[in-house]
Every structure is written in C-alpha cells, then in structure tokens.
Amino acid sequence: MTEPTDRIDSGAPRTHFIEANGILHHVLEWLPPDSVAARGETVLLCHGFLDFAHSWVLVAVPLARQGYRVLAFDWRGHGQSGWVGAGGYYHFPDYVQDLERLLPRLVPSDERVHLVGHSMGATACAMFAGVRSERLRSLSLLEGLGPPSSPLESAPDRYKSWLSSCARVDEKPPTLIADLSDALRRMRVQNSQLGGAFGLFLAEHATMPALAAPEQLTWRFDPRHRTTSPLPFRAEMFLAFLARIQVPTLVLLGEKGYRLADEAVRLAAFPQPPAVQELAGTGHMLHWFAAEEVLAALLAHFQSGSARDV
C-alpha cells in the first residue's frame, strides 16, 4: 500500500517556469512567513545528478522560516525542466551558462545571492563562482569538489562508450514503474535508508506518468544523463576555477560520502581557505539524511562576518 506524501511539510512553495538559455526551467520559491522579518537575502539551491529541486525541502523550508527568500530549480534534463533537443547533450558549460542566464530572471542584477550546490550542481556552482564571484554573497559546496579526474588518454574509449550508450538510450523504451512504492524501492538501491513519507515524497517528484502507459510511471530525468560523458573531467582545469573564487566558501563533506584522493589539493586551490566541515556518519546525500546539520552549517556560514562583509 502506498503511503500518502502529505505528511511532509513542503512549505507550499510558489512554482515558476522560466525560460533561460533556450530551456524552460522549473523553479520553486519559498518566502519567509508573515510572522518572520525578511532578511532581504536570497538563497539559491542547486541539486545534483538525477536529483531535483523538491528534494531540498528539508533545508529550504526552515531557511525561509529564518527570513531568507529561498529558490531551487531543476537543472536542464532534470525534474520538470526541459530536456535538450534532438542531437543535444549535457555538459558542465551548459549548466554554467544556464545559471548565468537564469540568475537575472530570479534576482535583481545588483543583488548578490547565497549560492548552494550539491554534487554535480556544486561543481557547476564552483565553476560559476570562479567567473562570476561578483554575483555572490557566499558559496556553499555540499559533496561538491568535483568528480575524480580522468586521464586524457581515456578520451577515445569514453567517446566509444558515449556513442554506444547514446545509441542504446535511443533504442530503449522509457523505464516503466508500477507506482510510487515501486519507484521508492528502486531509489533505495542507491540509498537504502530512504523510506517513509519523505521517501515517497521524493518518489512522487522523481516520476511522471508514462506516455505509453499512463497508468504507470517513469522517471522525470532525461535518460541521456545515464550515458557516458565523452569528455574526461580534468582536475587541473577545475582547480583553475577554484583558484578564482572570491567569496566566502563553505565545504560540507559526508564522512561516508564520495571522497576524493586529491581532496586536500582541491581544498588548497581556493585563494581564501574555505570553511570545511565533515558530517559524521553521513553519506553523499547530505540534504536528504542530515538536513538539520546542513541547515545549521548554512546558517552559520550565511551569518558569518566574512559573508556579511560581502
């Protein structure tokens, strides 16, 4: 039996669809309640790979209740945002340009924002911060020091895998999911502790009715995200972006998260040493399973003297 998802306090966010960089982006907006004095500051939350804006709910709602205007959006090909057209693909420069084009549609051009990213979204946020620090009040990276570096020599094999995996996606019909309980069961393969009302809330927003079988569901993300990227990720390139970040930065890591062999090298690349905090007993999905700790760290970071001086 499928458990109802109305036990999650979603904070009743406003929903917007905003065109930016040729993609229609789905944006959620949480405002401070009338009983709370607004701080006049905006927090922009950027999800990670195969995730979506609604999954920030356990962080977004209490941030709004602390007086912040909170925004979260679905990256291209995720959630309810548009997919790339036929023959298109997904690369980090696309995400950075989406952020560049979307930000002026969300906040006035003279307002700096608190930019928060998780995983893939954090990598894109770090790249954006490296070239647009003047748009930011602070930067927070959750499990977001970039993916492992790949050798240049891997490029031909990656191209070969990319061509094959894209062909398979084009030929394969969409995955059919029986119901929300089935979706949650599949999500638990990667996150076994996921369950209850929050798990079903995530399953609900991760899926949509399947066109070929409306009584069943399918994933909202573009299946091309599950193909192999043809471009090797180069740590030395990413370090150059980190070296140009000119805003106070917080790095949150899960004790059991996706840790990098060159983590210390990447942390040393920041021109201003970031505040680094490891969350004990927590894996990669910090905002799902350690929301209270993430919230406390973000609030302390936003209200620190260095962020206040920006």
Q: For residue 290, give every residue at least 6 positions away whose Cβ sits within 8 Å of its Cβ, in sequence order, or none.
A: 254, 279, 282
Query: Which pLDDT belongs to residue 3?
Result: 42
Residue 5 has what pLDDT? 45
What backbone torsions phi and psi does residue 72 show, to the nearest 5 degrees?
Answer: -145, 140
Residues of the chain with pLDDT under 70: 1-6, 305-310
Alpha-carbon distance 95 to 112, whole Å? 19
At 172 the pLDDT is 92
Q: Which CATH number fits domain 14-151+234-308: 3.40.50.970, 3.90.180.10, 3.40.50.1820, 3.90.1150.10?
A: 3.40.50.1820
Instruction: Give SS3 for 310.
Output: coil
Rounded Cα–Cα distance for residues 47 and 82 (Å) = 15
What residue spans define the domains of the chain? 14-151+234-308
- Could you report the per-residue pLDDT of 187-220, keeping only the tens digit for each? 999 999 999 999 999 999 999 999 989 899 999 9
pLDDT at 310: 66
Read off the pTM. Answer: 0.95
Q: Is 64 exposed, middle or buried, given 0-12, 13-18 or 19+ CB atoms closer than 10 A?
A: buried
The whole-number pLDDT of residue 1 equals: 30
Cβ atoms of 98 and 121 within 8 Å: the answer is no
pLDDT of residue 237: 97
pLDDT of 85: 87
CA 276 and chain centroid, separation: 19
Per-residue confidence (pLDDT) for residue 51, from 0 to 100? 98
